[in-house]
């Protein structure tokens, strides 16, 4: 559990390029996110917001700069493992769930990774499923769910191990407008309820403006907006 106002994410002068350095994406990006904050990384496609989110989550590695996430350095393999297992939840644009498994089986996967007792896992997944409105779907396979239901399951999966930080990469991008609004409202409600720090990458101004703070990502840098 984080202390109110505690710095959860600190990025200093992060740089990232692809294709042997010929395609620069981040060029000195910096930001801070504190416990309880919902912060939007807002920008056009290709601005670097998803890359920055991936650096924070340890899905990619910066070439230079300093990063601290929940007290860990996501550039180090040992820190990345601990960070993703116990302190960080990730919601993707495409849910990345296992289609042939049931909702309940998908939700058990993060708990299995940390050796959580079965009874505790069952209680946690039941609570989360009720909170997001999919408790009646626990025995259904992912491939049988609607897009909105799949994203609700993805949110539950991200919260299974009670993380301190939630990263959401265009979580409404593959949904219709009405469903997108519902998913965003649900994410915000759960974040406030659990006191999470949230970093949300989005190209939609309406969602960015609904966050506590909006940071504009442009030309590989981060600006207050």
Q: Per the structure block, which two tokens stand in for 169?
A: 């990469």
CB 89 within 8 A of CB 83: no
The DSSP bridge partners found for residue 26 are 16
In 3D space, the residue among 206, 155, 153, 161 whose CA is nearest the CA of residue 181 turns out to be 206
Using the 8-state DSSP alphabet, how is residue 3 labeled?
P
The ranges assigned to domains in the chain are 7-97+149-224
pLDDT score for 1 = 65
pLDDT of 194 > 70? The answer is: yes
> How far, rounded to the nearest angstrom, does the alpha carbon of residue 29 sit from its chain's CA centroid?
19
pLDDT of 4 > 80? The answer is: no
Per-residue pLDDT, averaged over 49-65, amounts to 94
Per-residue CA distances from 49 to 25, 95, 200 (Å):
9, 18, 9
CB 201 within 8 A of CB 212: no
Dihedrals phi, psi of 10, to nearest 5 degrees: -135, 115
Question: Cβ–Cβ contacts within 10 Å for residue 68, how many?
Answer: 17
pLDDT 10s digits, 123-155: 999 999 999 999 999 999 999 999 999 999 999
Distance CA 121, CA 116 (A): 6
Using the 8-state DSSP alphabet, how is residue 20 labeled?
T
The CATH homologous superfamily to which domain 7-97+149-224 belongs is: P-loop containing nucleotide triphosphate hydrolases (3.40.50.300)
CB 197 within 8 A of CB 28: no
């Amino acid at each position: 559990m984080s202390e109110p106002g505690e710095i959860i994410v600190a990025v200093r002068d992060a740089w990232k390029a692809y294709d042997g350095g010929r395609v620069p994406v981040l060029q000195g990006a910096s930001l801070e996110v504190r416990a309880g904050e919902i912060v939007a990384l807002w920008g056009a496609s290709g601005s670097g917001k998803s890359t920055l989110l991936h650096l924070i989550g340890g899905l990619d590695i910066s070439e230079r700069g300093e990063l601290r996430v929940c007290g860990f350095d996501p550039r180090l393999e040992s820190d990345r493992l601990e960070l993703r297992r116990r302190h960080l939840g990730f919601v993707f644009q495409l849910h990345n769930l296992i289609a042939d498994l049931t909702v309940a089986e998908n939700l058990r996967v993060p708990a299995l990774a940390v050796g959580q007792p079965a009874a505790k896992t069952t209680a946690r997944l039941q609570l989360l499923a009720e909170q997001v409105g999919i408790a009646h779907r626990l025995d259904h396979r992912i491939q049988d769910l609607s897009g909105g239901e799949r994203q609700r399951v993805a949110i539950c999966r991200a919260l299974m191990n009670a993380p301190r930080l939630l990263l959401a990469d265009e979580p409404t991008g593959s949904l219709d407008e009405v469903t997108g609004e519902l998913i965003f409202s649900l994410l915000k409600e759960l974040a406030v309820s659990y006191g999470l720090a949230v970093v949300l990458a989005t190209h939609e101004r309406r969602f960015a403006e609904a966050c506590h703070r909006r940071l504009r990502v442009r030309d590989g840098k981060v600006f207050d907006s």
